[in-house]
């Protein structure tokens, strides 16, 4: 028997149409006085921020709006926003947006009860004091940040993305209305959805996976594989949108506990150096990393292929490579850009490979002993 493992989930999820109507009651239940609502420009233009603010006002609270959320939040923006939140004596946070917005709110929340700088909390379980209530309202279907214990931040000085993993950071309440993802353009739907697929498959083969996490990862993968092409082809396909959002909640419980692997290590380095959107960076390298990993977890590669009905031959050496091939076809069908289409050149690959080797997430990857040559070979295939 294996030694005991933890499976942590701490989410109160309101899922479906008009779930936002729950917001005033939630704020009242916290006896909130000063509430900060965080969002970015696209969410404002989509009309979503106004819907949320309208509901928040019904709770009779003082509202502070931070509308400057940017993709891939930096340490600087976290610390600047935390200063405002402390000045306004914020007691509850409401994050309305994609992973960038929810992660920003989680990190700001850390600094309400724990001292700056935020960088010191990088790693697992480094946050000392409990944080304030956070209500997450996702508007993308990709990161699962609404249910995870993870924050990804951009360290512009060290030129890397790093993660804070701490169970205290999991949002207390989630308002997940698929309608809020309707306005995502096809390229954002594709990139964020490929991030979701990456979470599902990377966590399934992670060396931290347990039966409880595998259950969530596999189910999430099936849902994404079927519905992502539909959501990209027709953004108004609300059945596909709903399934994508549901899949993120399911898969989020999986990877929040099983962690990720080499795909995310490469994606974080690409985003830190070349500002690729997180999902686009994952998608560009995912098929090649899965091909690289296949020899270390052939049985699981076959299980993933089987879960989405790929035609198995019965020969494990052949079948373990079905999934990487299918993922490559999927990325082509979704018009995912290659690394050279993102402007990355052969001369950039060395510094990228060196950055990837410093990524702590490699510790969870099923294939260990990753070398600079290995990473270079993956990056070249992804050009
Ligand atoms: N915390 C976690 O568990 C976790 C997991 C994976 C990734 N991440 C992090 O999340 C960030 C990426 O988040 P993301 O992929 O959700 O993208 P994002 O939040 O950066 O949003 C991408 C773009 O889409 C826009 N947008 C968002 N919702 C929209 C809508 N409904 N309509 C129109 N436009 C919309 C945003 O304004 C932005 O310009 C990265 O920093 C990544 O590292 C976090
Ligand atoms: Fe991700």
Residue 261 belongs to domain with CATH number: 1.20.1090.10
* Minimum-distance ligand 1 atom for the alpha carbon of 148: 3
Reported confidence tier of residue 219, pLDDT bands at 50, 70, 90: very high
Q: Is the pLDDT of residue 239 over 90?
A: yes
Ligand 1 contacts CB of residue 138 (under 6 A): no
What does pLDDT average to over the chain? 97
In the predicted structure, residue 1 carries a pLDDT above the cut 70: no
Residues 149 and 229 in one domain: no
State which of 158, 181, 204 marks the end of a domain: 181
Domain that holds residue 141: 12-181
Does residue 314 belong to any structural domain of this protein? yes
Claim to verify: residue 144 and residue 232 sit in the same structural domain: no
**What are the pLDDT digits (tens) for 9-33?**
999 999 999 999 999 999 999 999 9
Residues 177 and 267 in one domain: no
* Residues 141 and 235 both lie in one domain: no
Same domain, 241 and 258: yes
Q: Output the CA 29–ligand 2 centroid distance in Å.
A: 32
Q: What is the pLDDT of residue 106?
A: 98
pLDDT(2) > 80: no
Whether 127 is covered by a domain: the verdict is yes
Span from the CA of 63 to the centroid of ligand 2 (angstroms): 31
Same domain, 169 and 126: yes
- In this structure, is residue 2 part of a structural domain? no
Give the residue, by CA position, lying nearest to ligand 1 atom 30: 184
Contact (CB, 8 A) for 168 and 271: no
Residue 202 has pLDDT above 90, yes or no: yes
In the reported structure, the alpha carbon of residue 140 is separated from the centroid of ligand 1 by a whole-number distance in angstroms of 6
The ligand minimizing its distance to the Cα of 261 is 2
Answer yes or no: do 176 and 196 share one domain.
Answer: no
**Residue 260 and residue 296 share a domain:** yes
Task: Name the domain count of the chain.
Answer: 2
The whole model's pTM is what? Answer: 0.98
Do 28 and 174 fall into the same domain?
A: yes
User: For residue 136, which ligand has an atom nearest its CA?
Assistant: 1
Q: Are residues 191 and 119 in the same domain?
A: no
**pLDDT tens-digit profile of 304-346?**
999 999 999 999 999 999 999 999 999 999 999 999 999 999 9
* Same structural domain, 192 and 62: no
Question: Do residues 144 and 278 both lie within one domain?
Answer: no
Span 51-99, pLDDT tens digits: 999 999 999 999 999 999 999 999 999 999 999 999 999 999 999 999 9
Q: What are phi and psi of 154, to 5 degrees?
A: -95, 120
Neighbours of ion ligand 2 (CB under 5 A): 195
In a domain, 320, yes or no: yes
Q: Any idea what the Cα angle at residue 175 is, between residues 256 and 77, rounded to 5°?
A: 65
CA–CA separation, 175 vs 332, rounded Å? 33
* 214: pLDDT strictly greater than 80: yes
pLDDT band at 3, cuts 50/70/90? confident
Last residue of a domain, one of 181, 213, 229: 181
Mean pLDDT of 232-239: 98
The span from the CA of 380 to the CA of 248, in Å, is: 30
Q: Is position 6 within any domain?
A: no
CATH number for position 43: 3.40.50.1970
Tens-place pLDDT, residues 348-368: 999 999 999 999 999 999 999
5 assigned to some structural domain? no
Boundary (domain end) residue, out of 133, 159, 181 = 181
What separation in Å is there between the alpha carbon of 87 and the centre of ligand 2? 32
């Amino acid at each position: 028997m294996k030694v005991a493992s933890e499976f942590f989930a701490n989410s109160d999820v309101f899922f479906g149409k008009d779930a936002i109507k729950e917001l005033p009651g939630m704020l009242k239940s916290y006896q909130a006085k000063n509430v900060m609502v965080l969002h970015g420009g696209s969410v404002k233009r989509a009309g979503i921020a106004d819907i949320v603010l309208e509901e928040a006002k019904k709770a009779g609270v003082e509202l502070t709006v931070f509308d400057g959320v940017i993709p891939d939040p930096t340490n600087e923006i976290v610390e600047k926003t935390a200063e405002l939140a402390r000045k306004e004596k914020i007691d509850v946070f409401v994050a309305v947006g994609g992973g960038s917005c929810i992660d920003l709110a989680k990190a700001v929340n850390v600094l309400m009860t724990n001292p700056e700088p935020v960088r010191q909390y990088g790693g697992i379980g480094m946050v000392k004091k409990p944080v304030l209530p956070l209500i997450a309202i996702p508007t993308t279907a990709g990161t699962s940040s609404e249910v995870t214990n993870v924050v990804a931040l951009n360290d512009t000085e060290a030129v890397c993305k790093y993660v804070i993993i701490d169970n205290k950071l999991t949002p207390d309440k989630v308002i997940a209305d698929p309608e809020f993802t309707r306005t995502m353009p096809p390229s954002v739907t594709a990139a964020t959805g490929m991030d979701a697929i990456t979470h599902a498959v990377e966590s399934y083969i992670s060396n931290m996976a347990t039966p409880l996490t595998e259950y969530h990862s596999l189910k999430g993968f099936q849902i994404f594989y079927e519905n992502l092409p539909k959501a990209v082809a027709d953004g108004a396909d609300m059945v596909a949108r709903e399934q994508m959002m549901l899949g993120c909640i399911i898969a989020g419980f999986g990877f929040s506990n099983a962690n990720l692997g080499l795909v995310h290590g490469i994606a974080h380095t690409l985003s830190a150096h070349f500002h690729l959107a997180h999902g686009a960076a994952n998608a560009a390298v995912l098929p090649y990393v899965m091909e690289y990993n296949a020899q270390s977890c052939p049985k699981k590669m076959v299980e993933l292929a089987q879960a989405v009905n790929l035609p198995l031959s019965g020969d494990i050496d052949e079948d373990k490579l079905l999934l990487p091939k299918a993922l490559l076809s999927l990325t082509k069908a979704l018009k995912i850009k290659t690394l050279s289409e993102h402007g990355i050149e052969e001369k950039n690959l060395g510094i990228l490979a060196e950055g990837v080797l410093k990524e702590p997430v490699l510790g969870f990857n099923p294939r260990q002993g990753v070398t600079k040559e290995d990473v270079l070979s993956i990056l070249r295939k992804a050009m």
